[in-house]
Structure 1
Amino acid sequence: MARNIGSQYTTHRVLGRGSAGTVWLGEGPEGPVAIKLLREDLAADPDLAERFAHERHALLGLEHPHIVGVRDLVIGGPDGSDLALVMDLVRGPDLRTHLERERRLTPYEAVAVAAQIASGLSVAHAAGIVHRDIKPENILLEPAADGSGPPTALLTDFGVAKLIDEPRHGGKGGVVGTPDYIAPEIVEGLPPRAAVDIYALVTVLYEALAGFTPFGGGHPGAVLRRQVTEKAAPLPGLPQALWDLMQQCLAKAPASRLRAGELASRLREVLPSLEGLPPLDIGDPDGPDELPAPAEPGGADPGPLPAAVPLVHPDLLDDERATHTRMRVPDAEELAGGAHGTARTPRAPGQARAGSARHQAATRRKRRLAVTVAAGLAAAVALGGWLLAGGDDGSDDGRGPGGTAEQDLPPTATP
């Protein structure tokens, strides 16, 4: 059903849905447009509306052949619940839909798409805008005008992830994004810079070539851990020059990655060597391409189903990785509940928490008392042994009363 957005736009039908909202085919003063309506809970946040208004100039001013242009920003609506971006209409599918149909692209097609997106990123980064959510769903493929040439790749949703993830009310934003494409420095808690887009884009390139992401599979927490601790597995059949370039952009240290303009130039340089190469002939990391057929009644067991992707690939652990901030493993004292420990074991009311200053002072006092008691017991035992061995023969040998000389007494330890 048609719906008015602001005073100039009307929506007709849904083109797609995402985590932040719904994209509609719409109509405006200059013809068809795409209108991204943010979710109602987001649109109802006055802080978010203020941030969008503040970034309006930057969003509207970002123009490039490989970036979906933003034409207008609508805040308000009849009931005050609309927050929408009015964008250029791209009539082709997104890269995710294309990959679901083709599974893998030829090296030439995949690199051509990545080079175009990197070119668009170079302009955005120069303007101080980081995308932060590059993934196949946010890369649109506009068919060639004559229908015979390759499609044009365009990046959409610029700035949306940043605006939605801004800290609210003095709090800190969490790890926001799709785990498969999140750069390791974000997992480690650093602010996202332009290098996170390079990491995500080359992850998309890897997926377009292989049919799967380098660190995907399993629980999202396991995926985030791999982003920090593992190296990407090399792709057999890929020219070494392209793989070396991809490895550099998947480096754990952000400073080691290429800038967007450099990446676009390098990808264009390797394109001619990729012409005519077929899609890579590789299997999925979690088993065969086809699931085994079910056993016929009375027939042989076809074998176990493919195993899940392991949480850690032992042969791909990056023990010498150069991360921007290295992740530190807590020591035994911290695990036991030290002053800055991670363990928090139950304790009785009034009992000092393990590792606290009060607990440490009490521990020191107990140790001093134990040393004093132990020294006293040792002195008593030594004295008793001497008396049994020597006795008192009544002779005057310079000993004091009781037959003991001061120099013969065992030393007494003091606290």
Structure 2
Amino acid sequence: MARKIGSRYAAHQILGRGSAGTVWLGEGPEGPVAIKLLREDLASDQELVGRFVQERTALLGLEHPHVVSVRDLVVDGNDLALVMDLVRGTDLRTRLDRERRLAPESAAAIVADVADGLAAAHAAGVVHRDVKPENVLLDMQGPLGPGGSHRALLTDFGVAKLIDTPRRTRASKIIGTPDYLAPEIVEGLPPRASVDIYALATVLYELLAGFTPFGGGHPGAVLRRHVTETVVPLPGIPDELWQLLVQCLAKAPASRLRAPELAARLRELLPLLAGMPPLDVDEPGAEQPEDAPGAAEEPEPGPGPARSGEPVRRRGAIPLVPGARPAGSNRDTHTSMRVPAPDELAGGARGTARAPRASGAPRPGSARNRAAVRRRRVALSAGALALAAVVGVGAWLATSGDDADANPQDTKHSAPATP
């Protein structure tokens, strides 16, 4: 049975759920639409509803081929909804879950599309604030682009800003998804266009590597890494693409490229990336196969000890939004968190904790790595002992020969002494 949304729309079928609400397949006066129905606790917040209405003009005016357009904003009783264009396809997270990582050409083409959409939004004074694979839709109906990529569109504009009301977050909270948060957000500074560039560069890194550069573990640890650690090179990535990533992941917002520059630079690199296969790298902290040496010896650290028989999760599975389902990664959760204190952000080594490795190489500090180190030490010790033995025997023989020359009567065949 259809659910009425306002006076003009009907929601028929749930397409997906997120931490901010539920997306429905709906119908409007002009045909099929996607309807994002925000959570009831958000809809009951009168301050948020007022902000929702204030943002109407900016959101409705954002039109671009790489942006999912907002057609209408509905406030009706307990319903607070964004009515958007319906994209026939899937989201980038679903593709990543299926393929793990993309070929560099396809990854660059998708991110260039999203950068074009951000360029239009930033020119209109709109900052997305929650760029991540879940908010990138792939249009399966249109023609294929470079590397067989589908046209990418950025969705969920305005949701982060709507939720981030002064009363809800004040100056001590963070709105966003931990894996993609720019360091200035973690430090409590106001979000500007450069935070979207940092998040999009994180998405590009994830498309190439299969994991985010600073993700994994407890959300607090992820936030600290954004501030204190530098990104570590990916084995096998072309230097031109790597330098682009480094610039857009810079800690200083002013050092990052702007969205139009990022899109143009990525498209310039497409001929260089044509035909390259996906990178073959291991995620920092990834478990070894069951038959690998030391595979079951060292579970990854988590929020608590794993009980016997329970699977070990590689990433934090802590739901940050009350009532939300546990997520397999911090990348799945959009939420409000406490801003860490300066002393909390000061900890941690710079750029050493999550270095990617070429496929098959042991992780530093792992049981497999320690076993290899022990084998090398045993081999070196055995070699040193053998060398010492050889040197000792040689020295004894040389000493014995010298003594025989100096004292003939001491030798076994010496002549008896005359009386």
With structure 2 as the length reference, what TM-score do the two structures score? 0.70
In the alignment, the residues of structure 2 paired with residue 129 and residue 108 of structure 1 have an alpha-carbon distance, to the nearest angstrom, of: 28
When residues 82 and 213 of structure 1 are mapped into structure 2, their CA distance, relative to the original with a 3 A threshold, is same
For the 8 Å contact 1:167–1:173, the answer to whether it is kept is no
Matches within 5 A, 1:303-318: 303-305=296-298, 307-308=300-301, 312=348, 316=352
State the SS of the aligned residue for 1:75. strand
In 2, Cα distance between the equivalents of 1:233 and 1:251? 12
Mapped pair 1:267 → 2:303: no
Asked whether the equivalents of residues 292 and 305 of structure 1 are also in contact (C-alpha less than 8 Å), the reply is no
CA contact (8 A) 2:103 2:208 kept: yes
The CA distance in 2 between the partners of 1:240 and 1:301, in whole Å, is: 34
For the 8 Å contact 1:23–1:37, the answer to whether it is kept is yes
Q: CA deviation at 1:35?
A: 0.2
After the TM superposition, which residues 371-382 of structure 1 pair with which residues of structure 2 at under 5 Å, given as runs? none
- The C-alpha deviation readout for 1:254-301, integer Å capped at 9, x for no partner, is 00000011111111111110000000011111135x53159xxxxx98
What is the deviation of 1:173?
5.9
- Tell me the amino acid that sits aligned with residue 131 of structure 1: H
* Cα offsets for 1:63-91 (capped at 9, x unmatched): 00000000011111xxx101100000012
Counterpart for residue 248 of structure 1: 247
Q: Where do residues 4-403 of structure 1 align in structure 2 (5 Å cutoff)? A: 4-76=4-76, 80-145=77-142, 150-168=149-167, 171-172=170-171, 174-288=173-287, 291-293=289-291, 303-305=296-298, 307-308=300-301, 312=348, 316=352
**Aligned counterpart, 1:406:** none
CA deviation vs aligned residue, 1:203-241 (integer Å, no higher than 9, x gap): 000001000000011100000000000011111111000
The answer on whether the counterparts of 1:286 and 1:306 sit within 8 Å (CA) in structure 2 is: no
1:171, CA displacement in angstroms? Answer: 3.6
Describe the superposition over 1:164-219 as per-residue Cα deviations: whole angstroms up to 9, x where unpaired. 10212894361111110000001111000000000000000000100000001110
Q: Percent identity?
A: 67
Q: Return the letter of the residue paired with 1:135.
A: K
1:307, CA displacement in angstroms?
A: 3.8
Secondary structure of the residue aligned to 1:204 is helix
- Check whether the contact 2:179–2:214 (CA below 8 A) recurs between aligned residues: yes
Higher relative contact order (CA 8 A, sep 6+): 2
Q: Is the 8 A contact 2:181 2:199 kept in 1?
A: yes
SS in 2 for 1:168: helix
Q: 1:126-178: per-residue Cα shift (whole Å, max 9, x none)? A: 11110000111100111143679531100001011011102128943611111
Q: Which amino acid aligns with 1:118?
A: A
Contact 2:47 2:165 in 1 (8 A): no
Cα distance change on mapping 1:305 and 1:291 into 2, 3 Å: farther
Q: Distance in 1 between matches of 2:202 and 2:285?
A: 18
Between the aligned partners of 2:160 and 2:180, the Cα distance in structure 1 is 13
Distance in 2 (alpha carbons) for counterparts of 1:170 and 1:145: 40
In 2, are the aligned partners of 1:139 and 1:154 still within 8 Å (CA)?
A: yes
Distance 1:123 1:277 in 2: 30
SS in 2 for 1:72: strand
Equivalent residue of 2:175, what SS?
coil
Q: Distance in 2 between matches of 1:284 and 1:291?
A: 13
Letter in 2 for 1:49: V
Q: Give the paired residue count.
A: 309
How far 1:316 moved relative to its partner?
3.1
Which letter maps to 1:291?
Answer: P
Shift of 1:117: 0.3
Tell me the amino acid that sits aligned with residue 93 of structure 2.
R
Conserved? CA contact 1:51–1:163, under 8 Å: yes
- The AA in structure 1 aligned to 2:297 is P
The TM-score, its normalising length taken from structure 1, stands at 0.71
Q: Secondary structure at the match of 1:280?
A: coil
Q: Provide the rounded CA distance (Å) in 2 between the counterparts of 1:2 and 1:153.
A: 30
Conserved? CA contact 1:251–1:257, under 8 Å: yes
CA contact (8 A) 1:203 1:250 kept: yes
CA distance in 1, matches of 2:152, 2:170: 36
Rg (Cα) greater in structure:
1
Query: 1:165 touches 1:173 (CA, 8 Å); kept in 2?
Result: no
Instruction: Give the secondary structure class of the aligned counterpart of 2:174.
Output: coil
Deviations 1:351-400 (A, max 9, x none): xxxxxxxxxxxxxxxxxxxxxxxxxxxxxxxxxxxxxxxxxxxxxxxxxx
CA contact (8 A) 1:134 1:181 kept: yes
Report the 3-state secondary structure (helix = DSSP H, G, I; strand = E; otherwise coil) of the residue aligned with 1:93. strand
CA distance in 2, matches of 1:18, 1:38: 9
In structure 2, do the counterparts of structure 1 residues 163 and 173 end up closer, same or farther at CA, with 3 Å as the change threshold? farther
Give me the whole-angstrom Cα distance separating, in 2, the residues matched to 1:58 and 1:244. Answer: 34
Distance 1:30 1:302 in 2: 57
| Partner SS state of residue 36, structure 2 | strand
CA distance in 2, matches of 1:228, 1:215: 10
| Alpha-carbon distance in 1 for matches of 2:282, 2:169 | 47
